[in-house]
Structure 1
Amino acid sequence: MIRTRCSVFISLSLAVCSIATSAKAQQIAFTWDDLPAHSVLPQGETRVEIGHQLIEAMKDANMPPVYGFVNGVQLEREPASAPMLKDWRDAGFQLGNHTWSHMNLNTSSLADWEADLEKNEPTLEQYSADSDWHWLRFPFLAEGDTPAKRADLRKYLAVHGYKIASVTMSFGDYMWNEPYARCVAKNDTAVIAQLESSYLEAASTDADFRRAMSKALYGHDIPYVLLMHVGAFDARMLPRLLKLYRDKGFTFISIPDAENDPFYASAIDPSLPDQPDSLEGAMQARGLPRPSRPKLSLDLNALCR
């Protein structure tokens, strides 16, 4: 049975409740940021082992080719993480560009940001020359702090053959990785159990939240692009997370398949007029009331201090 929190989304309550009873299978494209190293490393774990856990869970679930977005600077900071990229590619998964240093476009000049993007390309060529690595995930999801910067960026991306990896589903998975590392150091299994349950609860309520917006906008679900991060806790939880989505009626597709949907047209082709590439942005553009985001049940920052 799929649970919802209809009371959280007052203006969209009927949409949420109708989604909960829908038997139609919906689609998610998993994407992973910050390869090959995200967040702190818990005691006793390595980046390569985290990669193996993620790959094994996705292969067991018969996932289609999944994109991971690379920050090449991590290869300098943690050289031992490099095999994770080779393992990812050997498993049949794809790589895309997350800029070299995870640079925030909203707080950087466009010239500096473009240089940082290009600095990452030799790494992508090295590991992924035989596949399409011209997919961009914006660090911090920052696409430019002014209309002029955003317009100039889109021209650049179109000339250089990039497609934008939009995000239409995200429950903030990255927030659990640091508390998990602290709790591992303290061997606090009770709090780790709380982290596990709250992580799954957040994923579930966020999925309902996104589906409610899509239903309000279009009367149906779009294929969702899910933002994830290659952290240790994500690796620990991935088998259970995949089961949760399957139990909610989702099937898994690739990001190229997801972004074939008309919602993503301006992300696939940056030469087209700019359109919102998030559900929140689409709600605002249509003048629809934006629902409140689901609240976390735990103060993650306070755990295992």
Structure 2
Amino acid sequence: MSVACLALTATTAHAANKPVIAFTWDDLPAHAALPPGVTRAQIATDLLKASAAAKAPAFGFINGVHTQREPGSDVVLRLWREAGQPLGNHTWSHPNIIDLTPEQFTAEIAQNEPMLKDLMGDKDWRWLRYPFLSEGDTPEKRLAVRGWLAANHYRIASVTMSFGDYAFNDPYARCVAKGDEAAIADLEKRFLDGAAAVADRSRAMSKTLYGKDIPYVLLMHGGAFDARMAPRLFKLYQDKGFGFTTLDKAEKHPFYKTDVNPGLAPEPTTLEDALKAKGLPVSPFPVDLKALESICR
């Protein structure tokens, strides 16, 4: 084999072993407070621009109720589709399944469907992201909803990486309103440090379970601070050796099999729960989200 062929083989093997992340963006089209001077359309434009620059697919999950609460915010969903990025179901109004019957919860999913059909056309939109990542407070409720999802050809969008980005958006809006640049710089550092620490934690959990990386599904939110930080966040992951992939490709890994097919008997679908099921320790969550509540008050 020639030196060139050897080099190509080595490069291909390295690429195949590169850890990958599927970015998913919840609560479209209107997540959290808006800082003064920022629009929902600008947030979406900035997120999509950063995603395109990083060559990172951006799967969005919608709550249709936002288009009623914030008239005009539906432009975000049109921008998402014009950029060629997919949308899925996050329920109509983001309820916690714990507070509903299975029938009420599946009605929330169904209420979102006409909007998704209109936006996605013949593309696949039958993915559900559970609000609050909660599947219910009883095994019976969990199985009832999963049965409905299986009968209606849904897949569940799991989460195997999340650093609590949602908690940064409201403090950022307050800090912009106050003009507190030092506090904003502090938020930026906390955000990037948290993303890095959680990436390391997720990789460590995966390697404990599998001896290697699985494809990770990252939970993000379509907020103003997320949009501000997106270019730096993508670079952080790239600098840590990650590539980016689609939700569909990520969830082809066996870890996600009971979410890809909700009709199967459910198994743990977070890395933390998978470790607990094996009686293995779970390291503490490394981001102090509580501290963000008092910033710029």
**1:248 CA displacement:** 0.4
User: Does the aligned pair in 2 maintain the 1:198–1:297 contact within 8 Å?
Assistant: no
Pairwise CA RMSD of aligned residues? Answer: 1.3
Q: Where do 1:153-232 residues align within 5 Å?
A: 153-232=145-224
Aligned partner of 1:224: which letter? Y
1:130 paired residue among 114, 117, 122: 122
User: Does the aligned pair in 2 maintain the 1:72–1:99 contact within 8 Å?
Assistant: yes
User: Does the aligned pair in 1 maintain the 2:158–2:256 contact within 8 Å?
Assistant: yes
2:232 paired residue among 221, 240, 243: 240
Q: Deviations over 1:36-94 (max 9, x none)?
A: 00000110011011000001101111223x21000000000011111110110010100
Corresponding residue for 1:119? 111
> Does the alignment pair 1:281 with 2:273?
yes
Q: In 2, Cα distance between the equivalents of 1:63 and 1:75?
A: 26
Q: What TM-score, normalized by structure 1, do the two folds share?
A: 0.90
Corresponding residue for 1:82? 74
Aligned partner of 2:56: which letter? M
Distance 1:87 1:198, change over 3 A: same
> Does the alignment pair 1:72 with 2:64?
yes
- Unaligned runs of 5+ residues in structure 2 are 1-15
SS of the residue 2:145 aligns to: helix
Identical counterparts, % of pairs: 55
Q: In 1, Cα distance between the equivalents of 2:80 and 2:67?
A: 15
Moved segments of 4+, more than 4 Å: none
Aligned length: 282
Q: Deviations over 1:234-271 (max 9, x none)?
A: 00000000000000000000000000000000100111
Corresponding residue for 1:100? 92
- Unaligned runs of 5+ residues in structure 1 are 1-22
User: Does the aligned pair in 1 maintain the 2:163–2:287 contact within 8 Å?
Assistant: no
Q: In 2, Cα distance between the equivalents of 1:286 and 1:89?
A: 41
Corresponding residue for 1:20? none
Q: In 2, Cα distance between the equivalents of 1:295 and 1:150?
A: 29
Q: In 1, Cα distance between the equivalents of 2:123 and 2:28?
A: 17
SS of the residue 2:72 aligns to: helix
Farther off after superposition, 161-170 or 54-63: 54-63
Corresponding residue for 1:152? 144
Q: Deviations over 1:162-191 (max 9, x none)?
A: 000000000000010011000000011111
